[in-house]
Chains A and B, each alone.
Chain A
Amino acid sequence: MTDFYSLLPALFLGLGGMILLLGGVLAKGSNTTPAVTFGAVLLLIIAAVLSLLAPDALLFGGLLKTSLFTRYADTLVYLGAIAALILSLDYNKREQISRFEYPILVLFAVLGMTVMISAADMMSLYIGFELQSLALYICAALARDSVRSTEAGLKYFVLGALASGLLLYGISLVYGFAGTTNFAALAGIFQQGAGSGAIAGVVFVLVGLAFKISAAPFHMWAPDVYEGAPSSVTALFATAPKAAAMALLLSVMAGPFGHLTGQWEILIQILAVLSMVIGGLAAIGQSNIKRLFAYSSIGHMGYALMGLVTGTVAGIQASLVYIAIYVVMSFGAFACVIAMRRNGQAVEQIGDLAGLAAEHPGFAFAFAVLMWSMAGIPPLAGFFAKLYVFYTAFNAGYETLAIIAIVTSVISAFYYLRVIKVMYFDKGQPQFDKTSAGAGFVMAVSAFAVMFFVVIPGPLMTAAGAAAKALMG
C-alpha cells in the first residue's frame, strides 16, 4: 500500500492527462483549451500535494525511488509547470496558438520529469528523460505556422536527440563495464574505482545531462530555442525541465557515480566555469530579451553546478536552494516577458521597455526586482542563492572557483542593470496592452517571493538540507 501512495502522483498525472485528452477530442466543436488548462493546473496541484504527502519507497524492484530529495525536486517541477500553464492561457489565445493539446503535453512532460527525478535505475532514467523530451519538442514547435517556432522545435529535436544518443551511449558503456544499470548496485561496484571504459560512460552520461541543463559548452541550442519558441513555452523550458535535469544530474552524480568524485569533479568545474563566463559575457550583446534570459539561465546553471563540485551535503543543499530560487525568479521574469505586448503583438526587444516605469510602475518594479535578484543584489533572494554556493565552494577549498563566480556575477550585473536602466531611465512610450490577470499574478507571486525571502529564509534552507541528506544518505 505504501508503494501505491508513492506512485499515486504519477498515476494521477498519467491517467488525468489521458482523460483530459479524451475530453478535448470528444468536445471538438467548442473551445476546450481554457477548461483543459484549468484541469491540468488542478491535476498538477493535486499531484504536488499527493507527492508531498507520499512516503519514501523503492518501487518496481528498484526502478524508482522516492525520498525527500525527489519530493523537493518534484515540487519545483510542479511549481514551474503550473506557472507556465497559467502564463500560457492568455498568451496562447492572443497568439492564436491556443490548442488543448498543449496543457496535456505539459502534463506528460511533467510525468517524464518526475520519473527521471525519482529514477533509481539507468533504464527508468532514460524512459523519463525521453518522455519529457518528446513532449517538449512538440511544445517548442507549438506555433506551427511560425517559421521561428518550427525552426526552434526542429533544432531542439535534433540537438536533443543527439544528447539522448550520447546519454544512451554512456549508459550502455556503464552497463557494459559494470554489468548492471541499478543505481545502488553501480554505487557498490564503483566503490573500488572504475576502469577507463566506465569513466568514458560516466562522461557521456554527464554530457547528455549537461545538454539538458544547457550548461556551456553544450548550450548552443538554448538561445535559439528560447527565442524561437512561443514565450509561454520558453517560460516552461526555463523552469521545470531545468529543475528536473539539474536534480537528475545531482542524483546521478551523487548516487551511482558518487564514489568517482575524483574523476568527474574537474568536469563539473569546467562546466560551471564555462557556463558562468559564457552566460555573463555573451548576454551583454543581446538585444532580444528572450535570448538574454537564455544566456542568463546558462550562467545560473553554472552557479548551481558549483554546489555539486564540492560533492558534500552542504554543496548539494546550496545547489538545491539555488535551483529553487532560480525557478521562482525565472517564471517571474517570463511573466514579465509575456506581458510585453503592443497592439496585440508580442514585442521582444529590450529597447521596447523604454519608459515602462513611468507608464506601468508596478510592472516595472516587479521586473526590476527580479532583475536585481538575478544579479544577486541583497536583500533579494538571488543574493542568498549565490551566497550559499559561494560559501560552500569556499568552504570546500575551491577559492579560485568562488572568485571566478564573483567576477562573473559583477559582469552579469551589468546586463541585468541595463534592463532596469532602459525601463527606468530611458524615455519612451511602451504603450503595452493591458497585462493579463494570469501574467500579473505570476509576476506578483514571484516578485513577492523574491523580496520577502530575506525575512524567512529558514524553511527553504531546511527543506533543501533535508533533501540533500536524503540524497547523500
Chain B
Amino acid sequence: MNQLGFPILSLITYLPLLGAFIVATLSGNDEKVACKARNVSLIFSLIVLALGVFLWTQFNPAIAGYQFVEVMPWLSGVNIEYRMGVDGISLFLIMLTLLLTPVAIIASHGIKTRARSFFAAMLLLETMTVGMFAATDFVLFYVFFEAVLLPMYLIIGVWGGEKRVYAAVKFFLFTLAGSLFMLLAVVWIWRNLGTTNMAVMTHARIPAQAQTWLFLAFLAAFGVKAAVWPLHTWLPDAYGEAPVPGTIMLAAVLSKMGAYGFLRFAIPMLPQASASFEPLMFVLGVVAVIYISYVALAQTDMKRMIAYSSVAHMGVIIIGLFTFTVEGVEGALFQMLSHGLVIAGLFICAGVITSRGETLTLRNLGSLAVNMPVFAAALLFFTLANMGLPGTSGFIGEILVIVGALKVNFWVSLLGGAGMVLGVTYSLVLVRAVLFEKYARPKLMELKDLTGREYAMLLPLAVLVMWLGVYPSSFTHAFDAPVAALVQAHTAALNSHTAIAMVTAQ
C-alpha cells in the first residue's frame, strides 16, 4: 500500500464511475433530470478534484519514480497485475483532467436531451482518462486508453453538430485502428520482456531491430491520438462537430494522451529508435506548426480554426519531446498543461457564442466587443495566451521547447519557433472577425455579456494560465526529477549502445 494508507488513485479514478451509475438511475421529467444530473455529476467531479488537490499536496517532487503505488492481482495466470501510480509527469495531467471535467460539466448547460446519458458519459470519460494517466501496467493502460473511445464516441455522435455521425465514426475507427497496432506492441513486449509493469519495461533493453517496429506501432497509436500531421484528419471533424463540453475534453485532455504515450513508452523504452526517428518527428512537428497554421488561417468557422491551432500546438509538443533535452521535454510537458487550459478557455468562448443562439461562422460574427466587453477581454486573453504572449503560460512552454530544440538543431528551432509568429496571424484574424469587424447583423447587438456560470468556467482557467505564466516553477519543480531521469537514461542508453557497437566493430 502507498504512503497515505488508502488507495487514493483508485478512489479518484472510480468515484466518477459511481457518479455515472447514480446519474444513470435518476428519474423524473426531462427538465428536472437534466438539472439533477448536472448537479450530481458536478458534485462528483468537484469531490475528485478536491482529492486531486490533496494528492498534489502529498506529492513528493524529489522522487523520480512512481508514488502512491497500488498493486493488486488482476489477470491471474498470465502474470498481469493491477498497478497504479503517479510521478511528476502524470500528476499534472491527472490534475488537468480533474480540473477540466467540472468545467466541461458546467459548460454542458445547454444539454437537455438525454441528459442522464450525457452526464454519465462525461463521468465515465473522466474515469477512463484519469485511469489511463495513473495506470502503470501496460495492459491496464491499454484498457483505459481504448475505453476512452466509448464515451467519446457517444458524446460526439449523440449530442454533436450536423455532421456528428460522420465525425464520430471517423474518430472511432481512426483511433481504434491506431491503437490496435499498439496492442501488437503490448503483446510483443508481454512475450519478450515477460512483464507489462511499466517501471520495469522502461529499463528493459530491446534489440534495435525490434525497436523500429515497436516505434512505428506506437507512432500509429499515439500519433493518431495526438493528431500528429498527417494522422490528424479526424481531429477538425471531431472538434468541430462535438458539443462544446466534448470538445473541451477532446482538445484539452484527450489530445494529451498521445503525447503522454510518446513520453511514457516510445522515448524511454526505445532510445535507439527514438533517436533514429528524431528527424522524422521533427519534420512532422515542423510541418504541423507551419502548414497547419496556414490551414487554420483559411478556416471560416471559429471552432475549426481553434481546432487547427490545436494541431499546430501539438506539433510544438512533439518537437519538444524529441529533442531529448531537459528543456525540450519540460517545455513539451509545460506546453501540454498550458495548451490544455488555453484551448479549453477558447472553446468555452466559442460555447458562449453558441449558447446565445449564434453560429460560429466567422462571417456572421463581428463587433461583439461593443456590448460584450468582458467576453471580449476573455477571448483576447486566451487568444494571446494561445499565441504565447510573455506572462501567459503559452510563452513558457514555447520558449523552453525552442531552447531545447536550439541545442539540437538550429533549423528545427527556427521553424518551430515560426509557429509563434504564424500563431499571431490566425489569432488576430479570429479576434478581429469575432470582436471588432462591423456588424454583420443587427441581432448581434442584443447579445448579453458573460453570465455567472461563464465566469465560473473562465476565471479559474485565466488565473491558472497567469499562474503558469508568471510562476512556472511551482509546476516545473514536480517534473524536474522524472524528466531529468528520463533524459539521463536516454543518453546513457544511446552511449552504451554506441560503446558496444564500437567494441564489436573492433
Cβ–Cβ contact A361 & B142, under 8 A: no
A428 within 8 A of B: no
B165, A421: Cβ atoms closer than 8 Å: yes
> A361 CA to B164 CA in the complex, in Å?
20
Given A357-B114, A425-B168, A461-B76, the answer on whether A406 and B150 have CB atoms closer than 8 Å is no
Give the distance in Å from the alpha carbon of A391 to the alpha carbon of B176 in the complex: 18
Chain A: interface size category: 35 or more
CA distance A24 to B219 in the complex (A): 65
Q: Which of A114-122, A326-334, A409-417 contacts B (4 or more CB under 8 A)?
A: A409-417
Given contacts A379-B143, A425-B168, contact A417 B78 (CB under 8 A): no
Cα A414 to Cα B165 in complex, Å, equals 13
Give every chain A residue within 8 A of B149 (Cβ-Cβ). Answer: 377
Docked Cα-Cα span, A324 to B422, in Å, equals: 57
B134 to A: closest C-beta gap in Å? 15
- In the assembled complex, the Cα of A403 lies from the Cα of B181 at a distance in Å of 9
Closest partner residue, chain B, to A394 (CB atom)? B187
Given A410-B180, A458-B73, verify A395-B147 contact (CB < 8 Å): no
Per the 8 Å Cβ criterion, residues 180-208 of B in contact with A are: 180-181, 183-184, 187-188, 190-191
A388 contacts chain B at the CB level, 8 A cutoff: yes
Let me know if A457 is at the binding interface, CB within 8 A.
yes
Q: Give every chain A residue within 8 A of B505 (Cβ-Cβ).
A: none
Q: Does B74 reach chain A (CB closer than 8 Å)? A: yes
CA distance A391 to B187 in the complex (A): 6
Interface assignment of B490: CB less than 8 Å from any CB of chain A: no
Q: Mark A365-400, 1 if CB is under 8 A from B, else 0.
A: 100000010000111000110011011001100000
Q: Looking at the complex, which one of B114, B157, B172, B177 makes contact with A358 (CB distance below 8 Å)?
A: B114
Most buried by B among A388, A407, A454: A454
B111-126 interface mask toward A, CB cutoff 8 Å, 1 = contact, 0 = none? Answer: 0011011000000000
Q: Is B173 an interface residue (CB 8 A)?
A: yes
B184 contacts across to A, CB distance below 8 A: 402-403, 406
Q: Is A424 a contact of B154 with CB atoms below 8 Å?
A: yes
Chain B min CB distance to A408 (Å): 11
Give B57-79 interface residues, CB cut-off 8 Å to A.
73-78
CB distance from A136 to the nearest CB of B (A): 34
Q: Is B301 close to A, CB under 8 A?
A: no
Considering the chains assembled together, what is the distance between the CA atoms of A425 and B117 in angstroms? 13
B146 at the interface (CB under 8 A from A): yes
B contact residues around A421 at 8 Å (CB): 157, 165, 168-169
Q: Which residues of A contact B75 (CB under 8 A)?
A: 384, 457-458, 461
Note all chain B residues with C-beta closer than 8 A to A357: 114, 117, 158
Q: Is there an interface contact between A394 and B165, defined as CB atoms closer than 8 Å?
A: no
A387 CA / B179 CA spacing, docked (Å):
13
Chain B residue numbers with a CB within 8 Å of A358 are: 113-114
> Is B150 in contact with A372, judged by CB distance below 8 angstroms?
yes
A239 to B169, CA, bound (A): 30
Residues of B within 8 A of A417 (CB): 153, 169, 172-173
Determine whether the beta carbon of B173 is less than 8 Å from that of A413. Answer: yes
Say whether B77 contacts A462, CB under 8 Å. yes
Q: Which residues of B contact A458 (CB under 8 A)?
A: 73-77
Q: How far apart sit A334 and B222, CA to CA, in the bound complex (Å)?
A: 36
Q: Which one of A317, A379, A403, A457 lies within 8 Å of B147 (CB-CB)?
A: A379
Complex CA gap A425/B150 in Å reads 14
| Beta-carbon nearest neighbor of A461 in chain B | B77
Determine the distance from Cα of A439 to Cα of B139 in the docked complex, in whole angstroms: 34
Expressed in whole angstroms, the minimum distance between the Cβ of B154 and any Cβ of chain A is 6
In the complex, chain B residues whose CB is within 8 Å of the CB of A426: 165
Interface presence of A279 (CB below 8 A): no
- Chain B residues with Cβ below 8 Å from A378 are 142-144, 146-147
Residue pair B191, A424 in contact (C-beta under 8 Å): no
Minimal beta-carbon separation of A413 from chain B (angstroms): 6
- Which residue of chain A lies nearest to B142 when distances are taken between CB atoms in the complex? A378
> How distant is the Cα of A414 from the Cα of B177 in the complex, in angstroms?
11
Q: Tell me which of A317, A361, A406 contacts B183 (CB under 8 A).
A: A406
Q: Which residues of B contact A425 (CB under 8 A)?
A: 157-158, 164-165, 168
How far in angstroms is the closest Cβ of chain A from B221? Answer: 12
- Give the docked Cα–Cα distance between A378 and B145 (Å): 9
By the criterion CB–CB under 8 Å, are B114 and A361 in contact?
A: yes
Q: Does A465 contact B (CB under 8 A)?
A: yes
Q: Which residue of A lies closest to B168 (CB)?
A: A425
Partner of A394, one of B116, B117, B164, B188: B188
How long is the Cα–Cα vector from A432 to B190 in the complex, in angstroms? 47
Report the separation of the CA atoms of residues A238 and B383 in the bound assembly, to the nearest whole angstrom. 57
* Nearest chain A CB to B414 CB, angstrom units: 40
Chain B residues, Cβ within 8 Å of A424: 154, 157-158
Q: Which one of B143, B157, B168 lies within 8 Å of A454 (CB-CB)? A: B143
Contacts of A413 in B (CB 8 A): 172-173, 176
Q: Which residues of A contact B169 (CB under 8 A)?
A: 417, 421
In the complex, which residue of chain A has the Cβ closest to the Cβ of B154?
A424
Q: Roughly how many angstroms separate A421 CA and B158 CA in the complex, as a whole number?
A: 9
Complex-state Cα separation, A409 to B165, whole angstroms: 21
B74 contact set on A, CB distance < 8 A: 457-458
Q: How many angstroms between the C-alpha atoms of A409 and B113 in the bound complex?
A: 33
**How many Å lie between the Cα of A394 and that of B168 in the bound state?**
32
A397, closest chain B residue (CB): B191
Listed by A's residue number, 9 A-B pairs whose Cβ atoms lie within 8 Å are A358-B113, A377-B176, A391-B190, A402-B184, A403-B184, A406-B184, A409-B180, A410-B176, A410-B180
Closest CB pairs A-B (n = 9): A378-B143, A458-B76, A425-B157, A461-B77, A425-B165, A378-B146, A394-B187, A379-B143, A406-B180
Question: What would 5 more interface pairs be, CB under 8 Å, given A424-B158, A425-B157?
Answer: A377-B176, A383-B146, A395-B191, A410-B180, A461-B78
